[in-house]
Copies of this chain bind each other. A is one copy, B any other.
């Protein structure tokens, strides 16, 4: 008997009908002889509606109370899902984050999981019940207060439960068929990826692929949880995200069929970032550290950093970095306040950039990947403004309005195009 953790996002449980459909799928998994634990998000737009309500009451809701409010969302969906399953003749019990033992730190709105004590879940499983857990929420032991995990929280809940209960697989149900080589809305010939390493998935998620949240992938990688990203609208196999050292579990039926790893797993594009250039920085040791200490104090999420070749003559250099557009203003303000101390000449802000990331473990051992990437962009007349590489990823920054073309030509250049156009649905969960 296997233990399967399943996660259903808000778009999979948006009304009574879809809740019944999900309940049926869960019961089928149970019938097949598996223990089942389900992490569920709030129904459809519930979270946004609750947020709107809070903002009608006060422009800046108190974080503790906002978490108390938002956690009502999963409470509703999990109770409805449990009663739907029970009405099909199978035992089911719903548990809040607190009841499920999701222990977090006290950072309301973006709490981190520090421990999982799923005693009540194990007990319910041993009594033959299907376990339904509220995604996105936890509990702090010191303050005894309810917390929420922030964006992608339900994915993280599912992965943390899978790790704590030593589940065989964690199935992430979504409204697309799996992880694609690129966004099918941009690249019509994008292909569903059958399997991908957690490391590659992490890079793709970090580079803007929306289907999985980076936190959940990181948690899965660290705890050796195998993910199966698949659609809740059909029974197709989705994408297996696995740890190459541990291999793919036998239950997933892929062992023994050793296929050659593709060089490139996928291509992600991201239009949510802006570029700040610090112009005319004295080219002496310690200046970069000084700048990024100022930036770090704003808690900004800096992504790519590029320092241009030193201008030997002037003794000055330029340092550029990208960060989420939403954080641009606060970082500009912080840097301006320290302009004299650092001694730079000026700041440039550019929010019309696009970032393309090419991800694949195969590039470790395959030379010429960067050259092929740059050539494809050159042939399409697309100018590269920044380049940054990691072991399994190459990122380039272009103008925002060329990014979709860039993704398409690179997708074709690396032989990722499918024979036919991908079918896609819309929407995302949380």
Contact = CB atoms under 8 A, between A and B. Distances in A.
A64 interface: yes
A355 interface: no
A110 interface: no
A53 B83 contact: no
A72 B75 contact: yes
B68 A78 contact: yes
A83 B58 contact: yes
A16 B79 contact: no
Contact of A66 (B66, B83, B99): B83
Contacts of A80: 53-54, 57, 65, 69
B16 A53 contact: yes
B94 A65 contact: yes
A16 B52 CA distance: 10
A382 interface: no
Nearest to A64: B93
A61 interface: yes
A86 B65 CA distance: 9
Interface string A77-90: 01110111011000
A64 B86 CA distance: 11
Contacts of A71: 75
B72 A58 contact: no
Q: Using C-beta atoms within 8 Å of the partner chain, give the interface range for chain A.
A: 35 or more
A138 to B, nearest CB: 15
A58 B87 contact: yes
Task: List the number of copies, as a whole number.
Answer: 2
A50 interface: yes
Contacts of A250: none
Interface in A15-74: 15-16, 19-20, 50, 53-54, 56-62, 64-66, 68-69, 71-73
A409 to B, nearest CB: 48
A93 to B, nearest CB: 7
A65 to B, nearest CB: 4
A64 B99 CA distance: 14
Contacts of A73: 72
Contact of A82 (B68, B75, B78, B144): B68
Given A62-B83, A65-B79, A65-B86, A120 B144 contact: yes
Contacts of A54: 79-80, 83
A92 B58 CA distance: 14
A76 B69 contact: yes
Contact of A57 (B16, B53, B61, B75): B16
Contact of A61 (B58, B61, B75, B83): B83
Contacts of A20: 57
Contacts of A68: 75, 78-79, 82, 94
A167 to B, nearest CB: 23
A80 B16 CA distance: 26
Contacts of A69: 75-76, 79-80, 83
A87 B87 CA distance: 43
Given A68-B79, A68-B94, 11 more contacts: A15-B56, A16-B57, A50-B76, A54-B83, A61-B83, A65-B79, A68-B78, A68-B82, A72-B73, A75-B75, A120-B144
8 contacts: A16-B57, A19-B57, A58-B84, A62-B92, A65-B93, A65-B94, A71-B75, A72-B72
